[in-house]
Amino acid sequence: MDTNPQQWVPKVHPATRSVEPEDPMTLHATAVPGDPEVMLRCLVQEFAWMGWDAEQIVPLFRDPFYPALNSLWCVHGEAGIRQRVQEALRQCAVLNVTATVVEEPESSESQPELIELGIRTNPHGPLQEGSHVKGI
């Protein structure tokens, strides 16, 4: 292998390079090898962790602007995607919590209960020198 450094294009970070008219800087989806079932489960998990349910996730598969999801929808169809999403959601450990705050006006008539605190005397006599726990 030739290790001549002059044959390679110098690396430039995208944030530091200038914008050129021929470079539209748009993102393009590229197919890569892998298991589509695993990808589907991972994508569903991501949305589930944001609190989405099946009725919010399934329509994303129909949207052509989500090429990874849309290609899965083209392969499996509506029923297949819905079944896989439901199954992935059943296996996903997501805790959804809904809280309702009800503000009630404070009643000026009721006063909080007064609880008096006191110090109990030691029934076993004074503490012995060298042992701070004796008698407690």
The CB density around residue 57, as the number of other CB atoms within 10 Å, is 22
Instruction: Give the chain's domain count.
Output: 1
Tens of pLDDT, residue by residue over 69-98, are: 998 999 899 999 999 999 999 888 777 677
The answer to whether residue 131 sits within a structural domain is no
pTM of the model: 0.51
Q: Report how far residue 81's alpha carbon sits from residue 74's, in angstroms, rounded to the nearest whole number.
A: 9
The answer to whether residue 60 sits within a structural domain is yes
Q: Report how far residue 42's alpha carbon sits from residue 68's, in angstroms, rounded to the nearest whole number.
A: 12
The answer to whether residues 72 and 40 touch, using CB atoms and an 8 Å cutoff, is yes
Instruction: Please give the span between the terminal C-alpha atoms of the chain, in angstroms, as a whole number.
Output: 81
The answer to whether residue 70 sits within a structural domain is yes
The answer to whether residue 10 sits within a structural domain is no
pLDDT at 1: 53
Amino acid at 133: V
The answer to whether residue 53 sits within a structural domain is yes
The answer to whether residue 71 sits within a structural domain is yes
Q: How confident is residue 99, by pLDDT bands cut at 50, 70 and 90?
A: confident
pLDDT at 56: 93
The CB density around residue 68, as the number of other CB atoms within 10 Å, is 15
Tens of pLDDT, residue by residue over 4-52, are: 666 777 777 877 877 777 777 677 767 778 888 998 999 999 999 888 9
The answer to whether residue 122 sits within a structural domain is no
**Average pLDDT, integer, range 86-114:** 79
The answer to whether residue 126 sits within a structural domain is no
Write out the two tokens for 71.
């290609």
Full residue range of the structural domain in which residue 61 is found: 33-99
Geometric angle at alpha carbon 32, from 37 and 77, rounded to 5°: 40
